Chains A and B, each alone.
Chain A
């Protein structure tokens, strides 16, 4: 997936509580670069996300797998959304099937869509001459000349299976389902006539018949058994859950007062509310089938349970199973996050709210990008000096344990407001436990900065603003901008209209001398072999603050968003700041509301090829 190319970024959904773990998971690392934690809940910022937690694999997702709920102001991963089935449709004929039909007829296409039972390819309706003596007509597709042909069959174009294999032809090319049902009934009746009533027989007769017939019998027996079980358990139910008006009749029964069920009922009558549980809807435990007469079916080693259809006549054309088209809803507030158009051929969405459009996006790239294969002279924009080339080569390849690697972390803002970004990383990114890696020390040189609002693409390309825009783009292209400039703490390295890049310094393997005893057993004593194979994963906490207009950014959220809703999500990391919001609440549309969003990301770096 996304981790196939380096460096990659994955985003943690706040629904899993590994972002708020117990202290046993990770020791709280010194968080020097988190000045944004001033609003009373610094505890969140002090707990750092451990990308090597066994459960992290379930929390981390690439950005395009995530949705965003603008009602809860939170990232939503596939597990915190619920699916609504919008329509059922046949994948073959794209015919939309009403849900009532699905409920009554099952989720199979009722039209002439059939799959080959051998290979699941589509079966085509083919016309054949009825009598074999008549060679005047050929196999030809349906409708070519349906009047001359008198019989039809379903034929697989891929594996040559056809209904002739089961000696079945159809009299008309339409209403195949009815004709198939007739055929099936006829076969079942012939089978039951051939082997009359094995239901009450013993094991011997069961194993003497072919397996498929066994299965039918066993299924019928089991159904009957379960029905009697259900009936008896329903009879037994009133003693448990009936109202106490029936207690007089219950006392006439054989059930003694000391039986646990009655005791429980009496306790619940006289006990207080805390003892009183909801009326016992607990079903009686039911016995399972115990012998073949009750439907127990066991396989002996001579039988092959993998393919119960030993008789090729058991293979019938299978109608296509229907597919569903689903919308996504937020599980907490029922807000629709994605809703495709209901028409099966259409692939568009009516509503879609991907996280891509709502949360700042992180991208890590080397400060001095590796030089690709040298271009031919004619395509070069400028003549490269030898020293220049050597410098960039050493930057890409020559990283070793313990030497600082420089990367630019680009934060791109998709929101139409300027956003204040605060980045925080644990000072030491731990290695995977037991993998032999040594971790890395990570320093974000400029942890707090602002990123401009997203806008029109053309604005960005043509706007000649101070730092971004054409001039900067040209400089980057020609390569003059970054040359000779040194990364400086507290300064944004490069900046565009809706993005900004800051320099991140990564020292893998930490300090060999081990001056900083972090309590990490791998720290400082990692062996050379293991370290090379280790992907370095750096957790980064991103906090974004911006002021949005109540009307456009939250929709009706400002009007309908009560305290209850905010209280519900107070535990979530991504949330609104309630007090500030309350102050502003009740104003006009132009009222600005501060928003705050926090989430963990993991940046993955490729292992060193030392």
Chain B
């Protein structure tokens, strides 16, 4: 407490869509480019780490408190782009989740779930709370990871267009609500 405050972390070069909502306590750090799409909601204390690679967050994503998007360390292989993180449109990243890989659109990451480095998660996937997708793993579309590592393909989501449609609508409604509730301070990161 008595010790001096550490210097503020460097602001990454960010391209933030004007409709995105970034709470004041959300943190963007690193030196690589951060791209944030339209209607994205970053809750307070959400972290976007661009220290080791670019981070791209698609449209209509919601990232909750204390979730981390981006790699804190470099990739093990050291290959360029190995530490890049991207999240597709319409994803939900619950609180305390960690994303260090690629996530397809409309997927959902439960509370404290973890997607390892270089992992590729498909579209409409669901990683239940506290589950892990190991580094380098690839999940096909509509996969559900649940119950301590069990995986299966959700036929409900795969075979029914209306269910996917409903998921979209629900996501849009959630985004609308969040936009009203969270004061926007995206200016802090664009200036």
In the complex formed, the residue of A with least CB distance to B173 is: A138
On whether the beta carbons of A119 and B146 are closer than 8 Å, the reply is yes
Q: Measured between alpha carbons, how far is A118 from B165 in the docked complex, in Å?
A: 24
On whether the beta carbons of B128 and A139 are closer than 8 Å, the reply is no
* A135-B162 in contact given A119-B146, A119-B147 (Cβ < 8 Å): yes
- The 0/1 profile, CB within 8 Å of B marked 1, for residues 137-148 of chain A is 011000000000
Q: Measured between alpha carbons, how far is A164 from B154 in the docked complex, in Å?
A: 10
On whether the beta carbons of A159 and B155 are closer than 8 Å, the reply is no
On whether the beta carbons of A159 and B146 are closer than 8 Å, the reply is yes
On whether the beta carbons of A139 and B147 are closer than 8 Å, the reply is no
Q: Does B166 contact A (CB under 8 A)?
A: yes
Q: Which secondary structure characterizes the binding site on chain B?
A: helix
Residues of chain A from 140 to 168 with CB closer than 8 A to chain B in the complex: 155, 158-162, 164-165
Q: Does A128 contact B (CB under 8 A)?
A: yes
Task: Tell me the smallest distance from the CB of B158 to a CB of chain A, in Å.
Answer: 10
CB-CB under 8 A from B159, the residues of chain A are: 164
Residues of chain B from 129 to 178 with CB closer than 8 A to chain A in the complex: 144, 146-147, 150, 152, 154-157, 159-163, 165-166, 169-170
On whether the beta carbons of B163 and A164 are closer than 8 Å, the reply is yes
In the complex formed, the residue of A with least CB distance to B145 is: A159
CB-CB under 8 A from B155, the residues of chain A are: 164-165, 312
CB-CB under 8 A from B154, the residues of chain A are: 159-161, 165
Q: Measured between alpha carbons, how far is A211 from B152 in the docked complex, in Å?
A: 21
In the complex formed, the residue of B with least CB distance to A129 is: B162
* A132-B161 in contact given A138-B169, A159-B146 (Cβ < 8 Å): yes
On whether the beta carbons of B146 and A158 are closer than 8 Å, the reply is yes
* A165-B162 in contact given A158-B128, A160-B126 (Cβ < 8 Å): no
* A160-B166 in contact given A119-B146, A119-B147 (Cβ < 8 Å): no
In the complex formed, the residue of A with least CB distance to B157 is: A160
On whether the beta carbons of A159 and B160 are closer than 8 Å, the reply is no
Task: Tell me the smallest distance from the CB of B174 to a CB of chain A, in Å.
Answer: 12
Task: Tell me the smallest distance from the CB of B127 to a CB of chain A, in Å.
Answer: 11
Q: Measured between alpha carbons, how far is A129 from B147 in the docked complex, in Å?
A: 30
In the complex formed, the residue of B with least CB distance to A165 is: B155
Q: Measured between alpha carbons, how far is A163 from B126 in the docked complex, in Å?
A: 18
On whether the beta carbons of B128 and A165 are closer than 8 Å, the reply is no
Q: Measured between alpha carbons, how far is A454 from B162 in the docked complex, in Å?
A: 70
Q: Measured between alpha carbons, how far is A302 from B126 in the docked complex, in Å?
A: 32
Q: Measured between alpha carbons, how far is A160 from B145 in the docked complex, in Å?
A: 10
On whether the beta carbons of B170 and A139 are closer than 8 Å, the reply is yes
In the complex formed, the residue of B with least CB distance to A163 is: B156
* A138-B170 in contact given A159-B146, A165-B156 (Cβ < 8 Å): yes
CB-CB under 8 A from B169, the residues of chain A are: 135, 138
On whether the beta carbons of B144 and A160 are closer than 8 Å, the reply is yes
In the complex formed, the residue of A with least CB distance to B147 is: A119
* A118-B128 in contact given A139-B163, A160-B157 (Cβ < 8 Å): no
CB-CB under 8 A from A138, the residues of chain B are: 166, 169-170
On whether the beta carbons of A159 and B144 are closer than 8 Å, the reply is yes
Q: Which secondary structure characterizes the binding site on chain A?
A: loop
On whether the beta carbons of B128 and A162 are closer than 8 Å, the reply is no
In the complex formed, the residue of B with least CB distance to A155 is: B156
Of A119, A129, A165, A312, the most chain B CB neighbours within 10 A belong to A165
CB-CB under 8 A from B156, the residues of chain A are: 155, 160-162, 164-165
CB-CB under 8 A from A162, the residues of chain B are: 156, 163
Contacting residue for A159 out of B128, B161, B162, B166, CB 8 A: B128
Q: Measured between alpha carbons, how far is A138 from B128 in the docked complex, in Å?
A: 23
Contacting residue for A128 out of B128, B147, B150, B162, CB 8 A: B162
CB-CB under 8 A from A161, the residues of chain B are: 154, 156
Q: Measured between alpha carbons, how far is A121 from B163 in the docked complex, in Å?
A: 20
Task: Tell me the smallest distance from the CB of A451 to a CB of chain B, in Å.
Answer: 51
In the complex formed, the residue of B with least CB distance to A120 is: B147
CB-CB under 8 A from B160, the residues of chain A are: 132, 164
- The 0/1 profile, CB within 8 Å of A marked 1, for residues 34-68 of chain B is 00000000000000000000000000000000000
CB-CB under 8 A from B144, the residues of chain A are: 159-160
Q: Measured between alpha carbons, how far is A128 from B163 in the docked complex, in Å?
A: 9
- The 0/1 profile, CB within 8 Å of B marked 1, for residues 371-394 of chain A is 000000000000000000000000
Q: Measured between alpha carbons, how far is A312 from B169 in the docked complex, in Å?
A: 28
CB-CB under 8 A from A129, the residues of chain B are: 162
* A118-B162 in contact given A158-B128, A158-B146, A160-B157 (Cβ < 8 Å): no
CB-CB under 8 A from A132, the residues of chain B are: 160-162
Task: Tell me the smallest distance from the CB of A145 to a CB of chain B, in Å.
Answer: 14
CB-CB under 8 A from A165, the residues of chain B are: 154-156
- The 0/1 profile, CB within 8 Å of B marked 1, for residues 86-128 of chain A is 0000000000000000000000000000000011000000001
- The 0/1 profile, CB within 8 Å of B marked 1, for residues 496-518 of chain A is 00000000000000000000000
* A139-B166 in contact given A161-B156, A312-B155 (Cβ < 8 Å): yes
Q: Measured between alpha carbons, how far is A155 from B162 in the docked complex, in Å?
A: 14
Q: Measured between alpha carbons, how far is A81 from B92 in the docked complex, in Å?
A: 53
CB-CB under 8 A from B128, the residues of chain A are: 158-159
On whether the beta carbons of A159 and B147 are closer than 8 Å, the reply is yes
Residues of chain A from 165 to 181 with CB closer than 8 A to chain B in the complex: 165
Q: Measured between alpha carbons, how far is A139 from B150 in the docked complex, in Å?
A: 26
Q: Measured between alpha carbons, how far is A160 from B107 in the docked complex, in Å?
A: 12
Task: Tell me the smallest distance from the CB of A152 to a CB of chain B, in Å.
Answer: 14
New A-B contacts (4) at CB < 8 Å, excluding given A138-B166, A162-B156: A159-B144, A160-B144, A165-B154, A312-B155
Contact sample, A vs B, 15 pairs, CB 8 Å cutoff: A118-B152, A132-B160, A132-B161, A132-B162, A135-B165, A135-B169, A138-B169, A158-B146, A159-B144, A159-B154, A162-B163, A164-B155, A164-B156, A164-B160, A165-B154
